[in-house]
Amino acid sequence: MTQPPTVRVARREGFNAAHQLCNPALSPEENRRLFGPRTGYVVDLKRLSDIMSERIIRQVDHCNLNTDVPWLVGHIPTAENLAVAFWERLRPELPTGSLRVRVWETEKNWAEYSTER
């Protein structure tokens, strides 16, 4: 009798949960000061979400990128050009250091822009 082929099945799931980065032995103020290079905390993700929403999402969502977004007028809205334009909108609002913007066109295609070499 032949052995059946080995088949692997996988599924990707997501979840949402709350957590805090804090040391219970420290005061709330001391815990706030802790965030930064010492803990590996680069940017507050809620703040990043707010910046992205304000500087990009609210301005492009359900719009014609060729005519409705003043800072895109005159640019061909390819994923590549959008990645650069979005990067330019985010850069002044974020801490110095690495910033990479990826724009997904489809599940398989994306363009990415950063100043890293």
Task: Provide the domain limits for residue 98.
Answer: 43-114
Instruction: Give the tens place of pLDDT for each residue, 9-57.
Output: 666 677 777 666 677 888 878 877 775 556 666 777 888 899 999 999 9
Residue type, 48: L
Residue 6 counted as domain residue? no
Domain assignment present for residue 89? The answer is yes
Global model pTM greater than 0.95: no
pLDDT (tens digit, 9 = 90+) per residue, 92-116? 988 777 788 888 888 888 888 988 6
Structurally, the chain folds into a number of domains equal to: 1
CA distance readout (Å), 84 to 38, 67, 101: 30, 18, 8
Tens of pLDDT, residue by residue over 60-102, are: 999 999 999 999 999 999 999 999 999 999 999 887 777 888 8
Q: Where are the beta strands (DSSP E) in 1-117?
A: 100-104, 110-114
Task: Confirm whether 3 is domain-assigned.
Answer: no
Q: CATH number of the domain that 78 lies in?
A: 3.30.479.10
The answer to the question of residue 49 being in a domain is yes
- 53 is a domain residue: yes
**Amino acid identity, residue 107?**
E
Sorted by sequence, the CB contacts under 8 Å of residue 34 that are 6+ apart come out as 21, 22, 23, 26
The answer to whether position 93 is within a domain reads yes
Asked whether residue 92 is assigned to any structural domain, the reply reads yes
